[in-house]
Each structure stands twice: as C-alpha cells, then as structure tokens.
Chains A and B, each alone.
Chain A
C-alpha cells in the first residue's frame, strides 16, 4: 500500500502506467458513451409529458454530474498537495480545472437549451442553475489564480488553498440557493433510492455518465502527461522519451 502511495508521487512512474491505461479508458469511454447516447437518443421511450425534448438529459446529466465530481476530485487532490506535497496531485488539479470549467459550461448550456421548451425560458434564477453558475465562477477563479502566479510551487499550493476553501463553500452555496428559490427537478440519481424513471431511460443515462467518466479519465491523463513533460523537461527520462519518440 505504502509502496503504491510513494510510487504515485513519481511523475515518471505515472507517465509509464498511464500510457498503458489510456487506450482502455478511451475505448471503454467511447463505447459506453456511444451506447448510452445512441440508446438514449434513438431508442429510449418518449417522456409522457416532455415528449422528445427530454432526451437532452442524456447529455445534460452526465456533464452536470462530471462538473461537480471533478471539483470534488480536485479538492481531494488539493488536500494531498497541501498535506503530502505530492507532485502528481497538483499536476492533476492544474490539468483538470479547465476540463471542469468546460463541462460546467456545457451543463449550463444544455440546461438552457432544455429549459426553453419545458420552462419557456433560457435562464431562470433557480437554485440549481445559480449554484452551477457559481461553480463555473469557482473554476474560473482557480484557473485565473493558477495563471497569475508564476512560481509553479506556490501556484500549486495557493490553488490548493482556494480549491479547499471553495469545497467548504459548495454545500453552503448549494443549500443557500436551495432555500432561496427553486424550480429545477430533484437529482436524477440518488444512492439511496431507486430512480423514478423506467429502466429504459435510466440505464442509457447511467451508461453515458460512466462513459463520460472514463473519457474524463483519459483526458485527465493526456493533460497530466503534457503537464508532466513540460515540468520535468530538464530530467533525463523526459529527454530520452522525447528523443525516442522522434527517432
């Protein structure tokens, strides 16, 4: 266990192991996402109330789900950065923050597109929408702070502090806007309850969530590898790797 933990701190080890995992992540992710989306868009039954317009759920829910879970992953990594000073953890935070930002934006955008036919408006100051918007701001803040600090180590630690402060605030923001104003339907998946929709609807949804998870894993690896290469460019293994790649 501890050996694994120490290895995880080594960028070189991660680079090797992730290269082996990545094709599987990408293939599995694409497969699941395609299956989920095609099933959901073409074969799942119509909603009795919303007709076909509900089908955007197969894109909206996975992106919204990932947007939130990426922030939680970032916060865990930020804690690791501050406590153990593990290099890979801050590489992870830096690499995935823009991914989180884009997914949050996509969740908001697909939500707006869905909101137009069902609620009759693109945007409404509703609890869920507002807290996702604030999540977007938090991602933006993290990226802005990271870009503003030149020194790599202090940037990583400052960002870690900000991410952790943000994660303390996320439940507070969530509940404050929940009590403030709400129209959005409750969460689709809960760990404790059976989904309220038929299996033909939630199975493809679950597939696309899992698919997006795997694709995120792949994307995180790609971005982390790029970041590792640029950080470790002075080391011998990176030089060897690059020369081998060329030759």
Chain B
C-alpha cells in the first residue's frame, strides 16, 4: 500500500467537535475503500462462493435448500464479515494512521464507532443487498427472503461491531487472522441463532416481531458497548508495539 495515496486525517485539534471528527473518519474510510475497489468486492465474491458450496457439497434438492437456505446465507455472511475484519484496522495500523487516531482529543470510542460504521457500509450492507439474489438461488420463498434481508440488515452491524473488538485485540499479532476467528466466532453464535430463527419462524407463518425486537436489542447492546471495548483493546494493542 502506498502511503501517499491514502488521505490523511486532519483533525488534530480539540476545536473539532466529536461529531465532525466521526464524520471525517467515516468519509476518509469510505474514500480509502473506494480507491481499492477489489478489496470491496472480495468479501462479496467469497459470500457467493460459500453459498455455492452448499448445493454442490450437500444437496441441490429444492426441499433441502429451501429449508437450509436461510442458515446457509447467514453462515456465509458471517464468514465473509469475519474475513473482511482483518482490514478494519490493519492498514491504518501499518501506516501509522491509527496512532494519530488514538492521539486525537476526541473520544476514541466514537472514532472507532465511525470506522465500524464505514466497515459495515462497505461489507455488511452489500451482503444485505446481494442476499435476495442468492435467496432466490437457494429456493427461499418471497416472504422468507424479505425477512432474511431484514435480519441481515439488523444482524450484520452487530457482526461488524463485535468483530471490531476482535480486530482490535489481535492487531499486530503474528497469526492474527486465525486468532481473530477463534475469538469472535463464539460471540457471533447468538446473532446467528436469532437471525436464522427469525427466518424459520417466518417460514412457519409465525409472527416475527418479537424475534426482530430481540435482534434490535442485540444491535443496541453492541452499538453501546462494543465501541468502548474495541477502543480499550486498540489502546492496549497500540501500547504493545
């Protein structure tokens, strides 16, 4: 990665409000990402490929796919978010941007939240948009697809937020990728259970309001707590170097 082409963060002053700082970090992350479009595409390709493995590896029968489809899509989405997490802080850590962010007078957890939001916009949201196409390919019915997209829309930000903690903890370690998965997958399990549970309930014709409310509660919990944990972990990892 060439350091010159990466926009720098210009907010080294306490007169910048926290909100403006968040906006700055968010805009910069988006700009950096769009200069490396291939990085944006990779998790999506991975998502499609993992979904393709199931009909090939297990069974292409409509009866199997329509039952397991939601779970397959959820697992694939979870894995591709996991795959993209390594990028969340890595490049900024390597070129020193992260150090500058940690030194900012604005609270670090807000900046981490902005980075995580950018990460979700770049990986989670495209997955949600792509999900209906794959849903049709695994023979989900229209209602299930709609509910599935809704659960992914609520669930993927939770994945990004929890993942940020893991990414921050494993920053700069040798085997960061595998370690990150080991730390984060157990924490992803509740989101997965409720995500697929909602779709299963919808397929049986049950009301999904309560399920969605619970997923919303996860999102709120992750939104309020995860940035603090990730910021604390970042500070620890930075002092490690």
Contacts and interface: CB of A to CB of B under 8 A. Distances in A.
Instruction: Decide if A and B are genuine partners.
Output: yes
Interface of A: 82, 134, 137-138, 140-141, 144-145, 148-149, 151, 154, 157-158, 161-162, 164-166, 168-169, 172-173, 176-177, 179-180
B67 interface: no
B174 A176 contact: no
Contact of B193 (A137, A140, A176): A176
A180 B174 contact: no
Task: Give chain B's interface secondary structure class.
Answer: helix
Interface residues of B, number: 28
A145 B166 CA distance: 10
A113 B174 CA distance: 39
Interface string B159-175: 00010010001100111
A165 B229 contact: yes
B135 to A, nearest CB: 22
B240 A154 contact: yes
Contacts of B179: 144-145, 148
A158 B236 contact: yes
Contacts of B219: none
Contacts, number: 71
B239 A148 contact: no
Contacts of B165: 161-162, 165
B182 A158 contact: no
A164 B92 CA distance: 26
Contacts of A154: 236-237, 239-240
Interface string B211-240: 000000010010001000100110011011
23 contacts: A82-B232, A134-B186, A137-B182, A137-B185, A144-B179, A144-B183, A145-B169, A148-B174, A149-B240, A154-B237, A154-B240, A157-B236, A158-B169, A158-B237, A161-B169, A161-B232, A161-B236, A162-B183, A166-B187, A169-B186, A172-B190, A176-B193, A177-B189
Closest 3 CB pairs of A and B: A176-B190, A154-B240, A137-B186
A78 B236 CA distance: 14
A173 to B, nearest CB: 6
A184 to B, nearest CB: 17
Contacts of A140: 182
A144 B170 CA distance: 11
B42 to A, nearest CB: 25
B197 A180 contact: yes
Nearest to B172: A149
Contacts of A145: 169-170, 179, 183
Specify which of B175, B193, B229 lies most central, judged by the most chain A CB atoms within 10 Å of its CB. B193
Contacts of B54: none
A150 to B, nearest CB: 8
B93 interface: no
B194 interface: yes
B63 to A, nearest CB: 21
